[in-house]
Every structure is written in C-alpha cells, then in structure tokens.
A and B are shown apart, each in its own frame.
Chain A
Amino acid sequence: MNHTSSLSWRSLLNIGLLAGLAIVYTGLIGMIQVFSERGIIAGVLTMGQIMIFLPPLVAGYMAARRSREQGAGRMILNAGLAGLIAAVLPVILVLLIRQLDVMGVDIRSMFVNASKALIDHLTFERGIGPGLAMLVGFMTALGLAGGALMALPERIRQTLITGTTWVIGIGLLSEFMIQILRNLFGNQAGRSIFQAGALKPIPALIIFIVTAGIYYFWQLQGANIRARYARSGEGTKQTFQRTSVGLLGILLLMLPWIVGTFLSEVLANVGLYVLMALGLNIAVGLAGLLDLGYVTNFAVGAYVMGALTSTGPLGLAELNFWIVLPISVLAAMTTGFLLALPVLRMRGDYLAIATLGFGEIIRLLALSDWLAPYIGGAQGILFIPKPHIGSLTIDTPETFYYLILAACFIMLFISIRLNNSRTGRQWMAMREDEDAAGAMGIDTTLAKLLAFTLSAASGGLAGAIFASKLGAIFPHSFSLLISINVLSIIIVGGMGSIPGIVVGALALIGLPELLREFSDYRLLLYGALLIIMMLVRPEGLWPSAVRRRELQSDAAEAAAAD
C-alpha cells in the first residue's frame, strides 16, 4: 500500500470511477450529444465518440502506469479492470434514465440533456441490451489498449499519440480544410480527402502514417540535426533564421487568399484578441497587476471611434478613421491612467476585484438611459463608417485582416522592445516583489502607472478597429467576458510570453469560432483550462524564459519546504 508504484485496489477503483464520471458528466451537460455531430473520420469516428472512448483509455494507461512494478500480468489486469470499472457509471446512467422513462418520471425537466439521444450515443444506437454489452466491451478493450500503450517503449508511444493527434486535429477542422483546398486547388481536391465534413478513412490513415513517420524520424534524427545546426557557422544560422522569418511573413500576407473570406473573418477576430492580449500582458504578464477590467479600454477605444466618426444622429464630428485612431488610443490611455490612480496602493487580489468593479461600472454606464443621449444606451452607436486608404475602402474581412495584422505588428514590436527594456525589467522586478523592487530604487508608483497606461493603449487600438469593423457598437459587446477571454489567452499561452499569446489566441478564440458547437461550452472549457493550467502548468503553453526559471525555482523551494 505504501509503496508508491504499486496500485491498491482502492486507487484502481478510483481511477475507473473517475473515468466513468467524466463520461457521465460530459453526457449530462450535453457535450457528447453536441459533439457527435462533428465527424472525425467519416462513418467511423465522431468527436462525441472520442469523448466516450478517451476516459477509459486514459484510465487504463494510468492504471498500468501505476502498477508497472507489479509485473506485466498485473499491469494488463489492472488496465482492463480500469476500463471495465469506467463502464460502470455510464451503464448505470443509461439504465437509470430508461427506468425513469418507463416509470413516467420526466427527468428531462431537471437534467435537460438526459435524453434518448444520450442513451443512443452511449449504446451506439443498438438498443439497451446489445448496446450496453458493446459499451462494456469497448471500454474494457480501451482500458487494455491504454495499458498496452503504457507498455510500449516511450518513443513508439509518442509516435502513435502524435499521429493520432494529427488525424483528430485535421478531422476536427475538416470543413475548413475543405474550404482551403477549394480555394487553392478547386472543388475536386476537397472531395478526394474529405466526405461530409470529416476525413475519409484512407486519407486519415495516410495522414496518420505520414505524421507519425515524420515524428519518428525526428525522434531518431532530431538530436543530430539540432547538433549540426548548432555547429554550423553564424552565417548559416542567420540565413536560416532570415529565411524562416521571411517565409512566415509571406505566409501571413498570403493567408486571406489561402483561407477565404470566412476564415479571414476568424483570423481578424483572433488578431483583435492578440492585440488586447498583448496589451493586457503588459499589466498582468510583465508587471504582475491582475487587471480584470481590461474591457474598459476596449470599450473606450470603440466608443471614441464611434462617437467621432459615426455619420448617424449620435456622431459628433464625422471625422476620418485615421484621425480618430490615435485619438481613441490616447483616450484609452487616459482612462487607463485615471483608473490606475486610485488603485496604485492595492495589491494582488484586491486589485483584481477593484478593476473588475471598474469594468462593470463602465458597462453599466454605457447601458444606462442617463448617458443614452450621448452614447446611445442599449441601442449603441450606429453608422460607423469603414476606413479608407486613398480610394481603397477597408470593408471586407480580408482587408480588415491586413489592418489588424499591421496593428498587431506594431504592438508586437513595442511589446518586444518593452520586454527587454529597462522599464520591462523594472516591471518584472515589481512583479516578483514590490517591496524589494521599491527598496532597489524603482519608483513603483511610476512603474505601475506606466504599465496600466501602456497596457490600455493596445486595448483602445483594438476597440477602435473593432468599432469600425462592426460598423456599430452596443454595450453588450463590452461585457466582463471579454476581460476573461483575454486573461485566459494570456494564462494559457504563458504569462509574459509573446509567442504564447499568439498561440493562446489562436487556440482560444480561433478554435471555438471554427467549431460552432464549441460556442456553448466555450466558457466551460476556458474555466477548466484556467484551473488545469494553474494546477499543472502555471507557466503556460509557451512560457517566457524568465517565468519558467522562476516557477521552477518556486516549485523547488516549495518541495524543499515540505
């Protein structure tokens, strides 16, 4: 029992039951049903089925891993048992729903998703008896498969997982792959690989083999290639870096043509969030000031743009977009500065709640009838014109993509420079220990004001572009959820890490827009991600070097203290 690598029956039971609970949970909140619409491999596998199959697989893997010193026999037994136990709760759920149905109790009046559809998905539409037998069989088999995966050598396991991940990823994004292929090669190309919004089986297999193969090759040769690159002269390295940056630049510029109108729209939205996240990153990531009212800056930028350019009844000046753009940014910075003044003395969690309060106050004021004569109240400001460059009007998603891309690059440049500047280091010192930073001669008041003000600029810029992109603004576009979205991007990507922000925005904003059925569960997943990131990987997906060092030494200290 006390031996760490042996698995007691009780933990085995726990692992299995947890896996079963995961299935029951996703079923009852409706995810399995909704995601069953999304095919991965046509006629073979849907996303909903993955949600049923993944828990027993993981349970089997975990069970085998924790009993690996008890011999191969126990490993297999435990893995299979874990899968079998995982089936218990789903089976009970199905039987229960059916029994209640027979008794005439309307369970759906409480659990809206405990429906016939859920039973069908869990029993593979084969009826209760054979369906449940199938479920139990499948889950035991998957448990065993998980155990087998554990037993494989690390390299092969990683290869298999990589290949599968790619197939699932591409399968998930089938609809968009089809659009891209149609844009590039015409209608026929999409149809040969995809069918009904999912991968065809043979192409899926090919993708699996190719990606797994590349990964395996990299496993064998990666170290060599990296070593050769490290040994190569400065010149070669520079050429390599320049070429890759150049290729990336060309790719970014060509993206709207490759992906088409709808995806350009998605990319433009991702870009707006990248802008905001870059801004918030200054406050949260660099200076350690948790700002939950970031939407304020976005709203100010948007409202200034709306009020000064609108050709409608609420328009004040009907100015040109390009004149108002800097004014919006300045207005946002001023707001950032003014709202920073009262909170200068606050730290940590109180600061977070106070900024959240500011955000809500601004939204409620924007919504109120009191200010409605000036900013439109709930009706918002309409008739915001599109920007022009000479005779070219920026009005399509593609053209807005370029505008936003340009804005992102400006902010990226500023962020990177700030990151490595004296000010940036002051912020980081303040983030680590405000008192110590003050004692070292850093004017923390000034540093905080600067952080809030600069961080607001980017939000204002995003807001201004957002206003003219949408052509109208409403208070409900400026809810707390925007702040939470931006915060999630930073945390998932890695606080203080600029590439992390881009990755985070693509994953958190891009993916849900691509997969419509995500939209209902978007915040559920964000919430889960925030928790999991904090528990498992507080440094984020793509951490900044400084942050990584810190958190690791924190962990080491904590371990030493225990």
Chain B
Amino acid sequence: MAASAKPARTGFLSKDYFERMTWVDWVLNALRVLILALVIIGATNTLLSGKYTLAQWVSLIMSGLAQGSIYALIALGYTLVYGILLMINFAHGEVYMAGAFTAYFIADWTAKSGLLASAPVIAVLIWVIVAALVSMGVAVLLERVAYRPLRGAPRLVPLITAIGASFFLQYTFRGLYGTGFKSYPAVPIIQGSVAIGGFNILIAQLVVFFSALVLMLALYWLIERTKMGKAMRAVSEDKEVSRLMGIDIDRVIVFTFLLGGALAGAAGVINGLYRPQGVNFFMGFFPGIKAFTAAVLGGIGSVPGAMLGGIFLGIIESVGPSLILDGLGINSANQLKDVIAFTMLVFVLIFRPQGILGERLKEKKA
C-alpha cells in the first residue's frame, strides 16, 4: 500500500516527542502511570503479605485459563468478522447463548435417556454439534437479515443494528425457552481432580482448556491451509481485489459467520461442562463483551491474537482481584472481578487499540 510510507516512528526517546505532546497526551500518560502504579503497589503488597499460598495461585490461574479459553473461542468470532467486514458483531454473545441454551435441552434429554451415563463422549459430542448448528444458524441469519443490507453504510449504522439484534435475540430466546436458569447435567467422567507437579487440578478445567485448544488449532489449520481460508485472508486484505480475483465475497462472509458461530456454539457447551450452573437468555451478553475485549487485546483481526487475548483476560480476571485489589486494601475484591475485566477493556481501547499482535488495523481504522 502506497500510504504505508509513514514518517519514522517518534519513539519515547526521540527529541521531538515532548515537543509534540499535547495536553491530552499528558493526561493520558498520567493515567497510564497511575494505573501502573496501582497495579504494582497492589501486587507487591499482596505478594509481600503472603496471604495466598502457591497452591491457591495455581488454582486461580487454572480457573482463569479455563475461563479464558472460553473467552478465546468467543473472541475468535469477533475477530474473524472484524477482520473481514471491519464491524463489531455486537450480537455475537447472543450467538453463543443461542447454541448453549438450545443444547441444554438436548443435554437434558441425553441425561434422562441414559445416553450420557452409557456413552458420555458421544453424548457430549451430540451437544456440541447441536449447539454449533444452532449458533451457526443464528449467525448466518443475522448476517443475511441485519448486516448484509448495510454493507458499506456509515460505521455506526451496522453497530446500532448489531446492538438491536443483540437485544432482539436475547428476548426471542427468552420468549422461546422461558426466563429461568437451566443447569447442564453433570458429566461424571470429568469430575474430580488430578495431581500434576504437586498441585491438584480440576479435570474439568483441563478438558475445557484442551478442547478449546483443539478447536483453535483446527481453525488455524483451516485458515492457513485450506482454499477457503486463503480466500478469507484475501478478502480481509482487500475486498475489491479479491472480487476481481474471482472470489465470491458473499460466500466468504457467510462462511466466516458460520465459523464464528460454530466456535461460539462449541464454547457454549464447553462453558456448560465447566460451570453447570445456569444457562439463560442473558448469559451471552457480558461474556460477549469480555470476549470482544479479548479480541481487541490480542489485536482484532488476528486469530492467534484472539486466543492469546482470551486466555490473558481470563487469567487477569481470575487472579486480579486477589493480586491487585486485595493489595490495595479493597474488601470483598471478588465482587469486582468484572470491574477488572471492564477496566482492562477500556484501557486496551485507550492505550493499545491495535492490541498485542495487531498492526495493520492502524491504517484501516482511521
């Protein structure tokens, strides 16, 4: 791209950095320092006080890892769509909810019919397939009805549509399946814990982490090695040129939504395995926003970034309250778990909108 002939980056140490600083930069930098100081003070206080044992830290990290893998799977849906359409699919959390909520009924049925007890792996696979199919259906419907007509509209228009779609889907499923919380049946073979390196680790957490990992590797393979993946990468690079190269853009976009939907549906079931308490119509909203945070954190548009971001966010969210907030003398810090996630969201958006791994967004976003 010709426009990439940018002036050399003005680094922190370059001479004119301070001359170029406006008062807004001062404010932002002060904010940066403040947050950094709070984090460091909090963390040192906690670690020095020795309030938590190593085993407790490991268990916090493991639960963060499991939660983070679920975020990562949802985040992939955001990232894939953003990479191609440059829009935030705000309703993606609802795509996740749709699969998880619907698959609950299948799960319930397999538990009652004894299939879960006799062939647990097959039963769980059936849940995953059902959830993925439902989520894919919802995602494609969303694209077809709400987003496709608005391609090329001003940026805020599809975002507002997506917000509308988010609430529409929530309340549709509330109407269909009712308002109550439903609990997935417990899967016996993933209960209990194993000792690894002297630490007790829940099997469920390992199962969540590894199944998410397998799915992500499969996605990575699909994008890097298949023809469709190549087409997706081409479209995200330049829509018009890909069209000229004979790529059917509509098909690629639908395929992207299908992929995102399938991953979200699988994430829904994995979430059900890990935390059996409660699927309901509102379950997708906040995980959706957090997964978006994860996607931005890793660099939106980047597939490995979404995985990394998800896991990072999961761990911060799980460790943060004890590590940072406790050290700052804030009581009942665990209530503020979501505050950490949202603060993270805001600060990533402010200070590093291109994320850890993302680079190319900078030109496109402007």
Chain A contacts to B: CB under 8 angstroms: 25, 28-31, 109-113, 288, 290, 292, 341-350, 352-354, 356-358, 360-361, 364-365, 367-370, 435, 445, 484, 487, 491, 520-521, 523-524, 526-531, 534-535, 538, 554, 558, 561
Contacts and interface: CB of A to CB of B under 8 A. Distances in A.
B349 A354 contact: yes
For the complex of A and B, the 9 pairs showing the least CB-CB separation, nearest first, are A29-B175, A530-B164, A527-B168, A527-B167, A524-B171, A112-B178, A369-B332, A357-B342, A531-B164
Contacts of B177: 110-112
A493 to B, nearest CB: 13
Interface stretch (B127-135, B144-152, B248-256, B271-279): B144-152
A345 B24 contact: yes
11 contacts: A341-B24, A342-B31, A347-B365, A354-B346, A357-B342, A364-B338, A365-B336, A370-B336, A445-B24, A528-B164, A530-B160
Nearest to A483: B163
Contacts of B365: 347, 350
Nearest to A347: B365
B10 to A, nearest CB: 16
Interface of B: 22, 24, 27-28, 31, 87-88, 105, 108, 145-146, 149-150, 152-161, 163-172, 174-178, 289, 292, 296, 330-333, 335-336, 338-339, 342-343, 345-346, 349-350, 353, 365-366
B199 to A, nearest CB: 30
Nearest to B351: A342
Contacts of B88: 349, 353
Given A357-B345, A524-B175, A349 B339 contact: no
A369 B333 CA distance: 9
Nearest to B31: A342
A531 B168 contact: yes
A400 to B, nearest CB: 29
Given A342-B28, A524-B171, A368 B160 contact: no
Given A29-B172, A346-B349, A350-B296, 10 more contacts: A28-B176, A109-B105, A290-B160, A353-B88, A364-B335, A487-B160, A520-B174, A521-B175, A527-B168, A531-B146
B176 A484 contact: no
Contacts of A561: 152
A111 B176 contact: yes
A348 B82 CA distance: 14
B173 to A, nearest CB: 9
Contact of A365 (B28, B108, B164, B339): B339
Contacts of A25: 172
Contact of A554 (B154, B333, B336): B154
B167 A523 contact: yes
B49 to A, nearest CB: 18
Nearest to B22: A445
Which label, helix, strand, loop or mixed, suits the secondary structure of the A interface?
helix
B343 A558 contact: no
Contacts of B154: 554
A530 B365 CA distance: 25
A98 B280 CA distance: 27
Nearest to A341: B27
Nearest to B344: A357
A529 B176 CA distance: 20
Nearest to A368: B335
Contact of B150 (A344, A356, A534): A534
Nearest to A488: B164
Nearest to A361: B342
Given A113-B175, A370-B330, A353 B168 contact: no
A484 B163 contact: yes
A288 B164 CA distance: 18
Contact of A361 (B28, B168, B339): B339
Q: Which of B149, B165, B342 has the largest count of A CB atoms less than 10 A from its CB?
A: B342
Contacts of A364: 335-336, 338-339, 342
B152 A558 contact: yes
A110 B105 contact: yes
Contacts of B339: 361, 364-365, 368
Contacts of B343: 357, 361
B170 A523 contact: yes
Contacts of B158: 534
Contacts of B336: 364-365, 368, 370
A527 B168 CA distance: 5
Contact of B163 (A29, A341, A530): A530
Nearest to A480: B285
Contacts of A292: 163
Q: Which of A349, A350, A435 has the largest count of B CB atoms less than 10 A from its CB?
A: A349
B62 to A, nearest CB: 25
Contacts of A527: 163-171
Contacts of A110: 105, 177
A358 B24 contact: no
Contact of A353 (B31, B156, B170, B289): B289
Contact of B175 (A31, A109, A365): A31
A270 B124 CA distance: 49
A396 B31 CA distance: 46
A31 B175 CA distance: 8
A165 B168 CA distance: 25
Nearest to B180: A112
B176 A112 contact: yes
Contacts of A367: 335
A35 to B, nearest CB: 12
A361 B163 CA distance: 19
Contacts of B178: 112
B152 A354 contact: no
Nearest to A26: B175
A38 B292 CA distance: 41
A524 B168 contact: yes
Contact of B338 (A111, A343, A360): A360
Q: Which of B145, B164, B292 has the largest count of A CB atoms less than 10 A from its CB?
A: B164
A520 B346 CA distance: 32
A237 B331 CA distance: 67
B157 A534 contact: yes
A435 B365 CA distance: 13
A345 B163 CA distance: 23
A460 B152 CA distance: 36
A406 B199 CA distance: 66
Contacts of A531: 145-146, 161, 164-165, 168
Nearest to B142: A531
B167 A526 contact: yes
B350 A528 contact: no
A347 B175 CA distance: 36
Contacts of B333: 370
B159 A348 contact: yes
A367 B166 CA distance: 25
B126 to A, nearest CB: 16
Contacts of A534: 150, 153, 157-158, 160-161, 164
Contact of B292 (A353, A358, A491, A520): A353
Contacts of A365: 336, 339
B228 to A, nearest CB: 26
A53 to B, nearest CB: 20
A358 B346 contact: yes
Contacts of A530: 160-161, 163-165, 167-168
Q: Which of A29, A527, A561 has the largest count of B CB atoms less than 10 A from its CB?
A: A527
Contacts of A352: 156, 159
A367 B342 CA distance: 15
B131 to A, nearest CB: 14
